[in-house]
């Protein structure tokens, strides 16, 4: 999954996506990424259902390989909502509406960031070391966490669907607290015995 202002390296090998990359490199260099809905495996080669919210990304780097595959780096630009899908290509085309981020009060965002950092520090499956620059803007920071932490695709989707930095921090905190509770109490809700 792709989040605004975060880079995502991708290896493009499927014929339909090779064509998509070639087409967008000739123009706007922008690709929209959406998550496939559960059960997508039954119709992967066709047009399985997708979540209606995704993120548009600009191809910042393109490396063409001799066999037609390529490596690209996308930089997230903006969240969007699919308004209508269109045919005509082996890859999906859609009209989209860009989604604005809800404004947040700086003090609340600062507190949410500290709370999320504390939750990451307590997480049993969290990173051993998390190195961050203190001057990373909140939107970049929370989006980078959402994209890089070990989360399920549906958890990431729920983060992408939130509007604004504060809401994204709060949703991330809910996910981290739930995981901590699962670890402490076990998946069935009973205390874990060691």
Say which CATH number the domain at 28 has: 2.30.130.40
Please report the pLDDT score of residue 133 as a whole number: 66
- Same domain for 55 and 27, yes or no, is yes
Please report the pLDDT score of residue 158 as a whole number: 97
* Residue-range definition of the domain harbouring residue 68: 7-98
- Same domain for 92 and 110, yes or no, is no
For residue 168, the 8-state DSSP code is H
- Same domain for 82 and 124, yes or no, is no
Please report the pLDDT score of residue 182 as a whole number: 76
Work out how many domains the chain is built from and give that number: 2
Is 66 within the bounds of a domain? Answer: yes
Is 14 within the bounds of a domain? Answer: yes
Bridge partners of 31? 57
* Residue among 93, 59, 68, 92 at smallest CA distance from 12: 68
Measured CA to CA, the distance from residue 84 to residue 47 in angstroms comes to 14
- Same domain for 137 and 154, yes or no, is yes
Q: What predicted TM-score, i.e. pTM, was given to this entire model?
A: 0.84
- Could you give the residue ranges of the DSSP H alpha helices within 9-48? 15-25
Question: For residue range 126-170, what is the model confidence (pLDDT) as tens digits?
Answer: 555 555 666 889 999 999 999 999 899 999 999 999 999 999 999
């Amino acid at each position: 999954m792709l989040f605004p202002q975060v880079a995502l390296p991708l290896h493009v090998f499927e014929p339909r996506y090779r064509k998509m990359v070639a087409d967008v490199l000739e123009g706007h260099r922008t690709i929209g990424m959406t998550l496939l809905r559960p059960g997508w495996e039954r119709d992967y080669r066709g047009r399985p259902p997708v979540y209606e919210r995704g993120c548009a990304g600009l191809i910042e780097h393109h490396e063409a390989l001799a066999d037609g595959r390529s490596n690209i780096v996308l930089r997230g630009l903006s969240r969007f909502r699919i308004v209508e899908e269109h045919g005509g290509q082996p890859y999906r085309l859609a009209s989209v509406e860009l989604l604005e981020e809800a404004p947040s009060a700086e003090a609340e965002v600062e507190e949410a960031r500290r709370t999320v950092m504390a939750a990451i520090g307590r997480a049993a499956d969290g990173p051993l070391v998390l190195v961050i620059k203190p001057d990373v803007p909140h939107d970049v920071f929370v989006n980078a966490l959402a994209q890089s932490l070990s989360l399920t695709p549906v958890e990431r989707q729920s983060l992408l669907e939130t509007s604004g930095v504060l809401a994204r921090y709060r949703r991330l905190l809910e996910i981290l607290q739930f995981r901590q509770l699962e670890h402490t109490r076990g998946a069935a809700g009973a205390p874990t015995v060691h």
